[in-house]
Structure 1
Amino acid sequence: MQATGYFPPGVTQFVRFLGDEIRVQPGRANVMLRCVSGSALVITISMALQVPFLAVSLIAVFLVTQSNVVMTRLVGLVFIIGVTLAVGIAILVIKLTYDYPLLRILLSAAVFLFSVYMMRVAKIGAAFFLVGIVVIYFQSFVDLTDNAEALVRLALWIWVAVSYAIAITLLINTLCLPVEPMQQLQDGMLGQLATVDAGLAYLERGARAVGVPDARQVQSGILMLQRLLQFSMMRDADYRTHQGFHLALVTTVSRLHAATADLPESTAEIPAGVPSALRAACERLGHAIRTGGRFTVPERLTNVADELMPGALQQMRDALLAFASRSAAPESSETKREKGRFLVPDAFSNPVYVQFALKTLLATMAGYFFYLATDWQGIHTIMLTSLIVAQPSLGASSRRAVLRIGGAALGSVSALAMVVWVVPRIDGIVGLLLMSLPVIAVGAWVSAGSERTSYAGTQLMFTFAIVLLEQFGPVTDLTGIRDRMVGILLGVLISVVVHASLWPEAEGEALRQRVARLLRSLAARLRQPGDAVTPTALWAELGDCEAMAARVALEPGWQMGEGQHEGFQHYVQTILAQTREIFLAADAFDAERRAQPIGDSRAHGAAMTGAETAGALLEGYASDLTDRPEAVRAPAPVPPDLLATDLGIDHEGPLTDAARRAYQRLTVRATRLIGQVQTLPSWRVHQADTGTVE
């Protein structure tokens, strides 16, 4: 019996989830080292010069440190703009309304409302997030003192604490541990080419390829290269000038990597010398990527007879030949693109944005009035939590709330342990660093992970720092730990209730419609491969659907019934997992279709029959998913004789053995594609039961 059998399924799943989130990933250690280095320098400077708000400085280090230099500089610039604007507005509000508390609250609420609205509609929403945070956080200082000059000084110190931490972070990321997106892109392409070479090596030895990428790896590989290409164009002028060439290179590597997932199972159908010729071409492509030289196709690959070659190998050959001709004349001028808008297109027509701002303002003001009524200074985080937890959907808000509570709890436990056992034994900056940096490193490692858990690492570090590092001496008071957790819990409770009760932004219905559009796009690609959306765009849309499904899974289940909500989650996750496999089967079918002899009416008819059958099944399923989701059924089975007749090979005269095998491969690919489509799940909710998916 396996060890996991001793634990409930939920516990096993949670442990597996944690293992996936904290595992080693390329570049993760580098991000952690940059965070720890910046934090160590900021702690030393702040303690030596007695710069207040050290916890705020540290969170600036975490938020600005990104996966590469381009993103780090971009986020740093946005934060500088945001904190400058925030401090200026906070001082202006105090100057105009200091002697009029009601007017001060009303004006601050108006600024906060505008800031939250701009968070949703502006490209630099993070800057307005800082404005909202500072303006509402500053109200807790106003209630503590009647000295206006002290308030101005506090505001200016906030600007100093954030700005100098950003400057140090940018310096470290630029000089000490730079991670250039161009290098990341090159490493990513070379890594995928290594996978391609390994698969071809098995075929060259006459063995079945093993270790080929699955559908999820193909998807993540395509999206990673596209994302890194965008960063590289932002960073390097050469990439912007020759973006067409670099896009062609990335597309070629992605096609090779995707084709590796569909390598033939039998080596008997492969013409002699094809795997070795493809390996030589991939080696030349890798050398061109490393050196920036010109790529040329080996002559033996050019001379290989491409007719009747297995579809995956044909796709590899076509990709290499197409890139070789494309690289002969790279673009010499930068393509002009329309500058993006500052606001989203429906900023003034969609009422959701105003409703979101009103909900967030109501939750924040409720927390602020509770804070004033109880005169409990330690729970000032109740206002900040209301804004931090506020996200564009209920699922995203629930996830942020869970991460904030979990990260704060871990940070509080760490701080409590240090106060009890470590603080009494240290008396200098070295001891302080030795105590703090391990906890900061753990927080940095978590924050460098996926979006699903990254905020928990930032919250862990911030909670630890605000308890132990806000004073310029040993900490002995433990009430701060208790008060902060109480403030966070109350803020989360108020925010979740308000957002779930007023204009709730549930994404379940939008997710269902989006999945249906994705299936229709795939059906269009099967029927008209030249005119439909590109495979890269389809993989990207699938990734967005998966991210939305992860948020929907965290939406409150009471809105549609707990059992029905759980059933809907399982249903959508099954659809998306199966859609990923359909994408891979569609790529294999398309490659085999292109490998058939040009002008052969039998091949054209067979390909059209397979594409039309799969497309019709997808279109029908998508229509049911859109119009009558409660009655969706799995696609109807295709009669076996239909495939045998329309994809047969004996009714138009004799064929050579090679042509017969090519038709057989096309038949197999079409059959597998249709079979994958037919495994899409049905949906039925038991009216009298708790709700299940069948």
Structure 2
Amino acid sequence: MALPVPETSPSPDAPTREVIQSTSPLRTLGLARIWRLIWDPAPGRMGYALRMAAGCTTTVLVGEIWQVPDLGVPALVTMALWQKDRVTNALVGVLVNIVVVFLLLLIYGLIKITLDHAMELVIVIALLSFGFFFLGSASKLKPVAYMFGLITVFGLVVIDQVPVGEVITRAILYTDLFLAMPGAVMIILGLLICPSPRRVLTDDIAARLRMACRLLRGADDRTHEQATDMLRSGTTDMMKSAKMASLEKIWAAKDLACLRQSARSSVAVLALADEASRNGISTEDAVCLIETLEKMAAIFADGDYPAAIERPAVSSASPAGAALADMLPDFATPSAEDEKTAPKEKKSGFFADDAFSNPEHVRFAVKGTAGVMLSYLAFMVLDWPGIHTCIITCFIVALPTMGEMVSKLTLRISGALVGGAIGIGSIIFVMPQLDGITGFLILIFVVSLLAAWVKTGDERIAYAGFQIGLAFYLSDLKGFGPTSDMETARDRIIGIMLGNFITYAMFTSFWPATARDRIGEVLRKLAQALQRQSQAFTPQARAEAIANTQSALSESERTLEYIMAEPINTLVDLPRLRETKHALDDAGCLSEDLLVTPERTDLSDHTARLERLAG
């Protein structure tokens, strides 16, 4: 059996790995890369997107039954909070339904203060915005604080527009439904259609093993790119799945310990396969490794893990292949400490350690509040109720650094334009053809699936998917039923674009937080991770160390991307940024090489280089 695998001895004319890296261009995320990320068929992505679309459609169906106005908000909350597994979904849904009680009490009290008092309303909106933005920056509520702020402030703004006699009742009813509906759908539907976190974990491990097989068969640049993206994700998501699986209380602690070790080992195996693919491995050794890895992947894909793995008969001609073969017998064997109990995580409080000492949290809250208030001012001065979506957008698109704001601005605008175009197109061509609720829900599901597909992709493009959903929901879900009001769709899309512009202007003009302030911290973290990896001697320790190094490397590369997107002094810093890019390329190679030869004599030179660039 012959496989297209490069031989151990490369051609003399072939460029070496170091030469390729030293001449690699320094550039930000390009359109071609974004396009590949959009259509990347990552393992589990389609199922995740289908379930998210089903959740959003079910929320709309429940809203239609209860005749809830502005159904776009509950649908948007469902898309924002929907999780991959049933346990996390249920926990988030319960949290939402608990928080809704406190928000109802808060809104009830605020209505008493602000009803028919315009100045008090403005003050309350400002204080609420500041509070929720601060919590989003400095507390554990970061994933949901913006959503709670969005709904609370939006509720107060809408209440100010309704008849006075009904205001209290409507405030309680609609705020309750806005939050309770997504929470209930996430709990009930999530438990029915979402997989167990253990199954999510085993599928992720199987995906890494299959990617290793693809690399060993002979990979093109696209496959190497996908493998690198998978490597850079480390084990963070897999460890979260293992933690959620332990909360189910239906899996043996020993089995979960074996799966946690398998998750770490899968990253090491993928890194070694990448190393072997780049440096060359004989066809016989590759076939032997592929056969074993495919059998292991099949076991994990069935929701189990291999109890015993024999070392494949791989020669020492390929050091990376031999190291990979050496790691397989201990692939699912946890360390003695991990087998006894899950690893103890350092407990942290509700607020971040620097929540009240780092001025950036307050500055972030001030900029976010300024964006909300400017949007509210435009909304009131123009007397244009249809653009109230500018207020919603401010809560959704705020990001901590200028580089993140700039790098994702294109994704936001393109997502909003795509979602708005779909919304207007459906109003013109689809809505007139709908005779009942079934066709309407099919339309919601199809567009939700498109938005969810993009949102469940790489975090570099997830914003675009969310913006597609935002623009579509707020354009087509004006009331409880199909709308044919083109004016509403136009106004809401204008509101979204206005909110994007205002938020961008606020966050890049006042106290612009640059990603340059973080590059030193992440480079030092990477240098420390490489040092720890060189000091790991057991298979379990080496697997954990490579996963931590890859996570640190991913954070460093992402920070560099954000710096390159910033317009301030980029050209002045270009030589230093290019050197940083080359240092990160070398660190990626070194992290794989350390699995083969931990005693690298040049390790101190590499870490010293990172320390110097960190300043």
User: Which TM-score applies when normalising by structure 2?
Assistant: 0.81
Counterpart of 1:295, as a letter, is A
Q: Determine helix, strand or coil for the equivalent of 1:171.
A: helix
Q: Do residues 618 (structure 1) and 606 (structure 2) align? A: yes
Residue 22 of structure 1: how far off its partner (Å): 2.4
Residue 438 of structure 1: how far off its partner (Å): 2.5
User: What does residue 200 of structure 2 align with?
Assistant: 184
Determine the C-alpha separation between the residues in 1 that align with 2:337 and 2:138. Answer: 41
Q: Do residues 52 (structure 1) and 65 (structure 2) align? A: no
Pair 1:338–1:65, CA change in 2 (3 A): same
Q: Do residues 246 (structure 1) and 246 (structure 2) align? A: no
Alignment of 1:63-82 (within 5 A): 63-82=80-99
Pair 1:166–1:372, CA change in 2 (3 A): same
User: What does residue 367 of structure 1 align with?
Assistant: 375
Alignment of 1:12-161 (within 5 A): 13-145=30-162, 147=164, 149-161=166-178
Counterpart of 2:565, as a letter, is L
The higher relative CO (CA closer than 8 Å, separation ≥ 6) is in 2
Q: 5+ residue gaps in structure 2?
A: 1-26
Q: Do residues 232 (structure 1) and 232 (structure 2) align? A: no
Pair 1:250–1:496, CA change in 2 (3 A): closer
Determine the C-alpha separation between the residues in 2 that align with 1:518 and 1:12. Answer: 22
Of 580, 584, 588 in structure 1, the residue corresponding to residue 588 of structure 2 is 580
Counterpart of 1:542, as a letter, is L
User: What does residue 491 of structure 2 align with?
Assistant: 483
Of 271, 279, 294 in structure 2, the residue corresponding to residue 258 of structure 1 is 271
Determine the C-alpha separation between the residues in 1 that align with 2:334 and 2:351. Answer: 37
Pair 1:358–1:197, CA change in 2 (3 A): closer
Determine the C-alpha separation between the residues in 2 that align with 1:495 and 1:478. Answer: 26
Pair 1:409–1:226, CA change in 2 (3 A): closer
User: What does residue 501 of structure 2 align with?
Assistant: 493
User: What does residue 569 of structure 2 align with?
Assistant: 560
Greater mean alpha carbon deviation, residues 392-401 or residues 446-455: 392-401
Pair 1:90–1:189, CA change in 2 (3 A): same
Instruction: Determine if contact 2:212/2:270 at 8 Å carries over to the other structure.
Output: yes
Residue 74 of structure 1: how far off its partner (Å): 3.5
Greater mean alpha carbon deviation, residues 397-406 or residues 51-60: 397-406
Counterpart of 1:122, as a letter, is S
Measured against aligned partners, the alpha-carbon deviations of 1:305-337 in whole angstroms (never above 9, x if no partner) come to 99x775334423542454587589983455555
Instruction: Determine if contact 1:256/1:315 at 8 Å carries over to the other structure.
Output: no
Q: Do residues 535 (structure 1) and 523 (structure 2) align? A: no
Counterpart of 1:184, as a letter, is V
Counterpart of 1:560, as a letter, is N
Counterpart of 1:248, as a letter, is Q
Measured against aligned partners, the alpha-carbon deviations of 1:182-226 in whole angstroms (never above 9, x if no partner) come to 2232233334445656788xxxxxxxx634985872662474555
Of 450, 453, 457 in structure 2, the residue corresponding to residue 449 of structure 1 is 457
Greater mean alpha carbon deviation, residues 320-329 or residues 367-376: 320-329
Q: Do residues 547 (structure 1) and 558 (structure 2) align? A: yes
What is the number of residues matched between the two proteins? 579
Of 420, 424, 434 in structure 2, the residue corresponding to residue 416 of structure 1 is 424
Instruction: Determine if contact 1:82/1:126 at 8 Å carries over to the other structure.
Output: no
Q: Determine helix, strand or coil for the equivalent of 2:435.
A: coil
Measured against aligned partners, the alpha-carbon deviations of 1:246-296 in whole angstroms (never above 9, x if no partner) come to 33333334333333334474659x9xxx88987787678668755857734
Q: Determine helix, strand or coil for the equivalent of 2:562.
A: helix
Of 507, 510, 515 in structure 2, the residue corresponding to residue 507 of structure 1 is 515
Q: 5+ residue gaps in structure 1?
A: 1-9, 201-208, 591-606, 628-694
Determine the C-alpha separation between the residues in 1 that align with 2:86 and 2:445. Answer: 23
Determine the C-alpha separation between the residues in 1 that align with 2:135 and 2:337. Answer: 44
Determine the C-alpha separation between the residues in 2 that align with 1:118 and 1:164. Answer: 24
Measured against aligned partners, the alpha-carbon deviations of 1:551-581 in whole angstroms (never above 9, x if no partner) come to 33433x1x226x4477776665444334323
Greater mean alpha carbon deviation, residues 358-367 or residues 233-242: 233-242
Determine the C-alpha separation between the residues in 2 that align with 1:541 and 1:20. Answer: 21
Residue 375 of structure 1: how far off its partner (Å): 1.5
Q: Determine helix, strand or coil for the equivalent of 2:565.
A: coil
Pair 1:372–1:43, CA change in 2 (3 A): closer
Percent of aligned positions that are identical: 21
Alignment of 1:596-607 (within 5 A): none
Residue 156 of structure 1: how far off its partner (Å): 2.2
Instruction: Determine if contact 2:159/2:171 at 8 Å carries over to the other structure.
Output: no
Pair 1:129–1:287, CA change in 2 (3 A): closer
Q: Determine helix, strand or coil for the equivalent of 1:534.
A: helix
Pair 1:199–1:339, CA change in 2 (3 A): closer
Determine the C-alpha separation between the residues in 1 that align with 2:135 and 2:47. Answer: 33
Measured against aligned partners, the alpha-carbon deviations of 1:49-69 in whole angstroms (never above 9, x if no partner) come to 422231122113312322222
Greater mean alpha carbon deviation, residues 565-574 or residues 436-445: 565-574
Residue 539 of structure 1: how far off its partner (Å): 0.9
Determine the C-alpha separation between the residues in 2 that align with 1:142 and 1:329. Answer: 56
Counterpart of 1:536, as a letter, is A
Determine the C-alpha separation between the residues in 1 that align with 2:588 and 2:569. Answer: 27
Instruction: Determine if contact 1:523/1:618 at 8 Å carries over to the other structure.
Output: no
Q: Determine helix, strand or coil for the equivalent of 2:597.
A: helix
Determine the C-alpha separation between the residues in 1 that align with 2:174 and 2:388. Answer: 19
Alignment of 1:421-436 (within 5 A): 421-436=429-444
Pair 1:129–1:43, CA change in 2 (3 A): closer
Instruction: Determine if contact 2:154/2:391 at 8 Å carries over to the other structure.
Output: yes
Instruction: Determine if contact 1:242/1:334 at 8 Å carries over to the other structure.
Output: no
Residue 123 of structure 1: how far off its partner (Å): 0.9
Instruction: Determine if contact 1:113/1:357 at 8 Å carries over to the other structure.
Output: yes
Instruction: Determine if contact 1:113/1:361 at 8 Å carries over to the other structure.
Output: yes
Determine the C-alpha separation between the residues in 2 that align with 1:419 and 1:623. Answer: 57
Determine the C-alpha separation between the residues in 1 that align with 2:272 and 2:335. Answer: 21
Counterpart of 1:217, as a letter, is A
Determine the C-alpha separation between the residues in 1 that align with 2:612 and 2:338. Answer: 46
Q: Do residues 171 (structure 1) and 171 (structure 2) align? A: no
User: What does residue 13 of structure 2 align with?
Assistant: none
- Alpha-carbon RMSD: 3.9
Q: Determine helix, strand or coil for the equivalent of 1:331.
A: helix
Pair 1:70–1:423, CA change in 2 (3 A): same
Pair 1:111–1:376, CA change in 2 (3 A): same
Counterpart of 1:426, as a letter, is L
Determine the C-alpha separation between the residues in 2 that align with 1:58 and 1:495. Answer: 23
Between Structure 1 and Structure 2, whose CA radius of gyration is higher?
A: 1
